[in-house]
Structure 1
Amino acid sequence: MRNFILFFSLLLNITSWSQEYVSIQQLDSTKFKVDEYIGKDNLKNDYFIYKNAIKKKSADQEYEYQNLSLGNIEKICITNPLQLVVFYEDFNALVLLDNQLNETQKIYGNKFETPIKIEAFGLASQNQVWLYDGFLQKISLYNFKSNINKIISTPLNTEIKEYSSDYNNFYWITKELDFFSISIFGKIKNIGKIPEYDSIQIIDNNKIIYSKDQKIYYYNTNKPSAQKIDINKKSFEKFFFNNGILSIFTDNQIINYKIDLP
């Protein structure tokens, strides 16, 4: 009887431990010579930076954009494959690109009626971009068709450490690991604390994927603990999740996994 109880307890522990993992399935892998992998859009195009040029690679075509006059590329928003947004911090500028990486518009924070310092950005709905102004420490929506910048927040209390966005919400994480969101109507929500991380991707208002000590985890703010994503890789440079696919960049190779987040 005692042996049975021990066995049953061990079985429960194993079952509980296995539930901490998110199941994945490797799909394919591709070799790339890149300086930085950006991610994969909704149409499964890959984006990366090589020699300060943006490259977009689809199944049968490749496009490139480079603008050396604006300095180094700081960050790229690929929320919409038809409207990319590129941030050049050196010149306080955003560049909008179409689906073939043709330049369609430039936005200079210094040329606003009241100049702003762009420290965070993202594509929003209805011809708008999210902007975080480092001077005023406020979030705004800038309409790049009408050239109107509408401030929608009061000053933020702490510095933004990491951020992301979708069409209707802007998300950010503070140095104190507090997770916030703001809607296009200016409603700010304190979502809660998140675990310590080395790198992180905000998926939506309660789902994040992060790495810590070369391990990848999925965290849902509605649940008490993180779940490990077992990619069977000892080291990697970057990860990116989109539309059910987790892309891992390591040794100039992108490995794609199918993943179902609970």
Structure 2
Amino acid sequence: MKYTYYIFIFFFVSISAQESVAIKFIDSVNLKSDSLIAVDNFNTVFYVNNNILHKKTNTKTITYNNLQLGDLSDVNTFNPLKINLFYKDFNTVVILDNRLAEVFKIDFNALSPYKNVSHIATGYDNTFWIFNQDLQKLELFDYKTKTNRAQTAPVQSEALDIKSNYNFCWLLTKNYLYTYNYFGSLVKKVKNTGYTALAESNENIILKRDSQLFYMPKDKEKVLPIDTSNLLINQFFVVNETLYIYGNNVLNKFQLKIQ
């Protein structure tokens, strides 16, 4: 009886350990950049070189730089008509249109009350999410009225990354991954087991831990490893079910084979 029991346990553990998300290689392209930002459905590539944002299409490349604001900390291209650039050292966000022309600039140092921002992500309408690290909470900030439309309850650990779409914002901290709706209400809370970065597509989440990626479907908390065959992962993001992995100056494109 004991022998049968151990056979069953071994079989169950083996099946569980094999469960993962496969990827199918599509193609790769050489691309030298300091930081790859995104690739959209039209194969437009956004990347940063020497603190300059580049937007590369099949026909031309246009750029934007603002040397007065120091290092470019983050770029969010979720809405290509309102691209958000965050300059953390100067606590400032610049909003660009699709031609990389500056249309709005928000200096959080000049606001009352002052906001000490560590992360940003796109929101709906004239808003973006900011993480106020003095108050340890997310705020949905209207950059035209310079007021908060929503805010979350404070969290108890360091913010590592945030991503958003028009309906939700995902906050990854050292302790948990939080999901909030656009009212600032907590929708889901999942323990962080060592993840340091995330990407979002159609409310499905990709998480990075060390040199491994993991897939968490929307409305579920089950996390499955993605078989990336030990690729170097400097940046990663997902467009629909296409996974982009950038490392060693090569952009690899894969199809996520999700059952």
Using structure 2 for the length normalisation, give the TM-score: 0.84
Tell me the residue number matched to 2:124: 125
Q: Residue 74 of structure 2 contacts residue 85 of structure 2 at CA under 8 Å; is this kept in 1?
A: yes
* Counterpart Cα distance in 1 of 2:83 and 2:149: 21
Q: Residue 150 of structure 2 contacts residue 183 of structure 2 at CA under 8 Å; is this kept in 1?
A: no
More off after superposition, 27-36 vs 193-202: 193-202
Given candidates 247, 251, 257, the residue that maps to 2:254 is 257
Residue 148 of structure 1 and its aligned partner are, at CA, apart by 2.8
Residue 224 of structure 1 and its aligned partner are, at CA, apart by 7.0
Given candidates 195, 204, 221, the residue that maps to 1:197 is 195
Tell me the residue number matched to 2:228: 231
* Counterpart Cα distance in 2 of 1:146 and 1:256: 40
* Counterpart Cα distance in 1 of 2:253 and 2:231: 16
Task: Give the share of equivalent positions with the same residue, in percent.
Answer: 27
Summarize deviations over 1:157-202 as a string: whole Å, max 9, x none: 33322211111222112212x1212222221234222432354334
Large movers: runs of 4+ above 6 Å: 12-15
Q: Residue 20 of structure 1 contacts residue 226 of structure 1 at CA under 8 Å; is this kept in 2?
A: no
Summarize deviations over 1:90-122 as a string: whole Å, max 9, x none: 110001011121111101111223111112221
* Counterpart Cα distance in 1 of 2:156 and 2:196: 23
RMSD of Structure 2 on Structure 1 (CA): 2.8
Using structure 1 for the length normalisation, give the TM-score: 0.83
Unpaired runs of at least 5, structure 1: 1-8
Residues 120 and 199 (structure 1), Cα distance of their counterparts in 2 relative to 1, 3 Å cut: closer
Tell me the residue number matched to 1:162: 161
Residues 105 and 18 (structure 1), Cα distance of their counterparts in 2 relative to 1, 3 Å cut: same
Q: Residue 41 of structure 1 contacts residue 79 of structure 1 at CA under 8 Å; is this kept in 2?
A: no
Tell me the residue number matched to 1:107: 106
Tell me the residue number matched to 2:3: none
Unpaired runs of at least 5, structure 2: 1-7
Residue 28 of structure 1 and its aligned partner are, at CA, apart by 1.9
Given candidates 205, 208, 212, the residue that maps to 2:209 is 212
Residue 247 of structure 1 and its aligned partner are, at CA, apart by 0.8
